[in-house]
Amino acid sequence: MTIQQAQKTVDEWINKIGVRYFNELTNMVLLTEEVGELARIIARTYGEQSFKDSDIQQNLSEEMADVLFVLICLANQTGVDLNDALTKSIEKKTKRDINRHLNNEKLK
C-alpha cells in the first residue's frame, strides 16, 4: 500500500465506519496517547523496564499501525499530502545532513 493509498483507505474507513473525523485537537491527543503506548512497548522490549501483566498483550506492530492511522487522520483532515511531505522532508534532511553523520565520530 502506498502512502497515497493509505490516506485514501483511512478516509474511506472514517466516512463509512467511523462516521466522521474527530476534530484536530482530539486527534492530536489520540496521537500522543498512541505514541505513549508505543513508547511503553519499546521501553519494555529494548530498555530496562520489565513487562507488567497488562503489557503482555501489547504488540509492537499494532501500536505502530495505531500511530500511523491517527497521523494519517490528521493529515487528511488538514489537507497534508504525506507522500509529498515525506519526499520534501527527505530532500531537506539529505541537503542538510549530507556529510553530518558521516563525520560524526559517535556513529563510527
pLDDT of residue 101: 87
| Domain annotation for the chain: domains and CATH numbers | 3-81 (1.10.287.1080)
pLDDT at 49: 84
Question: What pLDDT score was predicted for residue 33?
Answer: 98
Distance from C-alpha of 86 to C-alpha of 83, rounded to nearest angstrom: 5
Residue 91's H or E segment, with its range, is helix 82-97
CB neighbours of residue 77 within 10 Å: 16
Query: Residues of 9-38 as b/e, b for ≥16 C-beta within 10 angstroms?
Result: ebbeebeeeeeebbeeeebeebbeebbebb
Compute mean pLDDT per 10 residues along the chain, 108 residues long, and list them.
97 96 98 96 89 77 97 98 97 92 86
